[in-house]
Amino acid sequence: MSGDGSVSLAYSPCPNDTFVFHAWTAGLLPDAPRPDVTIADIDVTNRLAAEGGLDVLKISYAALPHVLDEYALLPCGGALGHGCGPLLLTRDTCEPAALAGKTVAIPTERSTAYLLFRLWAEQALPGHEVRTVVMPFHAIMPAVRDGEVDAGLVIHEARFTFHEFGLHRLVDLGEAWEARSGLPIPLGAIVARRALGAERIAAVTEAVQASVRHAWADPEASRAYVQQYAQEMKPEVQEQHIGLYVNAYTEDLGPKGFEAVRELLGRAAEFGAVPRFDPAALTRGA
């Protein structure tokens, strides 16, 4: 927190984030702390959280165990839900077993998408190695289409646009997770630096929840802001994106949401994809 009482806040340019945070960042919440905003892709905010320099950030749940000592998980503002998981895409139709020994493009290893892929591969391809290569989000579908990689792990609006690249859905990793666990899919988390203290973290939590409610009550208010950061995305895709990733769990994770986070990260810790952590830290504030 800066000397003027503002808080540094970082989130992605994705429509769900700009929709959720618009009211707060536009000064429409008079009682909220003043935010000093940084817009950056999730891999950048993950790194910023690891460096510990900002107060409040949107990060991947896969990055959360790495920063739990310094950051508290807020019960709101993030992306967690049903039917919103990452997809594994191929250029040609095939069976999952065909990926054994092949190369899969992924956006980053510190992402929920990668954790869900690892969990799926443990069951679908036992004893087989699948090579992965990290690529920028926007490069993955063209790389699959052009045969540079055998499959691609995609997230967000790619759920709605992969047909435009002539690609096929090999597996919906979110569906696989939900079928196995019966729980929603944890994707993106909002965290606050524990050093802010309990009172300031409570004020931030209230601001995020109020911003979500304002966005729902007046969705037109944020339209230009959302479009400003999603210029290459068709308006109808923006709306689909928001409708899928902004839901009741965004306002309040609730018991089911926290259970999903504990289950996913606990399983990931078992095979070494994330550090082991104290589950109580997920619900412990400053």
Per-residue DSSP letter, 100: T
Nearest CA among 283, 72, 76, 285 for reference residue 193: 72
Nearest CA among 86, 103, 77 for reference residue 11: 77
Question: Which residues face 153 on adjacent strands?
Answer: 88
d(CA 88, CA 127): 19
Q: Judge whether 62 and 188 are in contact, CB under 8 Å.
A: no
Residues in the chain: 286
Structure tokens at 277: 């952590």
Residues marked active site are found at 156
Nearest CA among 188, 216, 210 for reference residue 73: 188
3-state helix, strand, coil in the chain (%, to 5): 50, 20, 35
Q: Judge whether 184 and 260 are in contact, CB under 8 Å.
A: yes
